[in-house]
Structure formats: structure tokens, C-alpha cells
Amino acid sequence: MGKYDSTKTRVTPLFNFINSDPIKLNTFFSVFGKIISCEKNSKVKIYYGENEAKIQASKSMLIWMLENPKKLNRPNDHGENDRNSSTFKKRELLFSGDSETLAEAIDSINKMPKDAKIKWYILEGKTSPDIYIETEDAIFIGEAKRTEKKITTKTRWLKNRDQLIRHIDSQLDQPKKIYSFYLLEKKYFEKYYKHSMQKYYDEDYFKSNLEHRNDELIDRAFNSFIGIAFWEDLSELFKLDFPDTVTTVR
């Protein structure tokens, strides 16, 4: 983040240029060695930058968290600062093993809308991919890094909750093909990211992050990963000069 913010210095300039142009999109996807169906005049939704998608965690994930409290990193405050609040009291009952509270929480999750706000029974908030592209038959999810020293591999409640896999998980219950990828800075790859990227070629890593999913869906998530691309190569491909730092307007 800061003056080298990848969203402002890389993602936004690139996708402002590409937008939903099918030719430019297919050129972008070709970097990953994939031929993607993106026909002229096809409907394309693209979210990034100030318009990032905000996607609710899967209901199966939220229910699994409720049913497996011993596998959670439970803060002493149950994720709530006010110990007199209804959220604290409900979670205190939930984590003490009260069956009625658990049943109420599961029922609430099964009935909640896609745009539900954080409630006492929701232990994982919405996820926001750096890049989210949806065509008529596929969904593309990308994470972008520049100078950050590591990828995100955990959340407040879980030790094993990789950021990209979390994005993928949010889409596993819909029928469209899923593609996931990373956009990285080549000059920092060896130092910061090479070891981390190898994890996405290990299905056991996906399994450890998706304990609530069956083998078929874990395999689907694993096979969604199409690789990494470097900002330097994308700059050359599209003849774009990316700004090195965030421009401050005074």
C-alpha cells in the first residue's frame, strides 16, 4: 500500500485501458496461456479499483465455522469490543456449545440475502478481489501485488485462510468456470513471492484452506489457478507506462 499501492499504480491503469473490450481481454488472458471465450458483444462485468466487488463468504463456510469453534482463532472478546453487546452475549453462548444458539445461527445463515451485513452469526466478512471479471460463462479472480512482502494467508478467525482461495471459495457454488491468477512485480518475485506461488500448485494447500468443501469442489478450486503474470510484461504487451508511485492531488 502507500505510495506504491498496486491498486492505484497498476490495477487501475491497466483495467481502465482494457475495460470490457473483448480483444484486449483475450490479449490479457493469453498471457496465462489460455484461450478464453470472450466474444464480441458478449456481456462482460469487470470490477477493480474503487469499484472492487464485495462478495459474501459461502454459506457452507459460515456454517462450518459455527460448527467447528475449536478450529477457530477465537479472540477473548469473541470479535466484539463491547462485552455487554448482544453480539458478545450471543457468541458467548455459541462458543460455549449452546445448541439452541447454534441452530438459530445456522437458520439465519441459510436465510440471509447476498448483501447481508455482519451479524453475530457471521464470522467471516465479505471478500474483495483486486480484479473480478465475469463473462457469460466464466469468472476470473485476480490478486495484485507490487512491493508487499507477503501474500495474505489468514483471517481474524482462521489460521489457514488464503486470500485468493477465499475469493475462489466464494464462487464455488455457482456453475460458471472459475479462473484465478496473480499479477506480480517481476523484480520482487524471487525475494517475496516465489515460495508462496508454489503453494498454488499443491492441492493439499487448497485442501487445508477448504475444510468445509468436498473433494470435488476442492479439485475445482485447485484447477481454477491459471498462474501468474508480471506487471513489466503487461506494460510491454499493452504499451502502457505505469506510474511508479501514487500521484497526490493537491
Residue 192 sits at φ, ψ, to 5 deg, of -110, -30
Whether residue 197 is contained in a domain is answered as yes
pLDDT band at residue 26 using 50, 70 and 90 as cut-offs:
confident
182 and 63 inside one domain: no
51 and 66 inside one domain: no
153 and 231 inside one domain: yes
pLDDT tens, 103-150? Answer: 999 999 999 887 777 889 999 999 999 999 998 889 999 999 988 888
65 and 48 inside one domain: no
142 and 36 inside one domain: yes
Q: Is the dihedral of CA 25, 196, 187, 13 positive or negative?
A: positive
pLDDT tens, 205-244? Answer: 999 999 999 999 999 999 999 999 999 999 999 999 999 8
* Residue 173 near residue 60 (C-beta atoms within 8 A): yes
Whether residue 117 is contained in a domain is answered as no
173 and 221 inside one domain: yes
* Residue 79 near residue 91 (C-beta atoms within 8 A): yes
The yes-or-no verdict on residue 249 having pLDDT over 60 is no
pLDDT band at residue 35 using 50, 70 and 90 as cut-offs:
low
The yes-or-no verdict on residue 40 having pLDDT over 80 is no
Higher pLDDT, 221 or 3: 221
206 and 140 inside one domain: yes
82 and 206 inside one domain: no
Residue 208: the pLDDT is 96
Domain span including residue 164: 2-55+128-238
Q: Mean pLDDT across the chain, nearest whole number? A: 90
* Residue 91 near residue 80 (C-beta atoms within 8 A): yes
Residue 170 sits at φ, ψ, to 5 deg, of -65, -15
163 and 41 inside one domain: yes
Residue 79: the pLDDT is 82
Residue 188: the pLDDT is 87
* Residue 154 near residue 34 (C-beta atoms within 8 A): no
193 and 82 inside one domain: no
Amino acid at 239: K
42 and 157 inside one domain: yes
CA-derived radius of gyration, the chain: 20
Residue 210: the pLDDT is 97
Whether residue 134 is contained in a domain is answered as yes
Structural domain count of the chain:
2
Whether residue 120 is contained in a domain is answered as no
pLDDT more than 90, % of the chain: 70
Q: What is the SS3 string spanning the chain?
A: CHHHCHHHHHHHHHHHHHCCCHHHHHHHHHCCCCCCCCCCCCCCEEEEHHHCCCECCCHHHHHHHHHCHHHCCCCCCCCCCCCCCHHHHHHHHHHCCCHHHHHHHHHHHHHCCCCCCCCCCCCCCCECCCEEEECCCEEEEEEECCCCCCCCCCCCCCCCCCHHHHHHHCCCCCCCEEEEEEEECHHHHHHHHHHHHHHHHCHHHHHHHCCCCCHHHHHHHHHCEEEEEEHHHHHHHHCCCCCCCCCCCC
Whether residue 151 is contained in a domain is answered as yes
Pairing type for strands 225-230 and 45-48 reads unpaired
Last residue of a domain, one of 68, 84, 111: 111
Whether residue 247 is contained in a domain is answered as no
Of 2-6, 59-63, 74-78, 109-113, the range with the lowest mean pLDDT is 74-78
Residue 143 sits at φ, ψ, to 5 deg, of -115, 140
Higher pLDDT, 56 or 37: 56
Whether residue 249 is contained in a domain is answered as no
Amino acid at 214: N
Residue 248: the pLDDT is 55
Residue 41: the pLDDT is 58
Whether residue 118 is contained in a domain is answered as no
Residue 250: the pLDDT is 41
Higher pLDDT, 34 or 133: 133
Neighbours of 12 (CB within 10 A): 20
205 and 228 inside one domain: yes
pLDDT band at residue 180 using 50, 70 and 90 as cut-offs:
very high
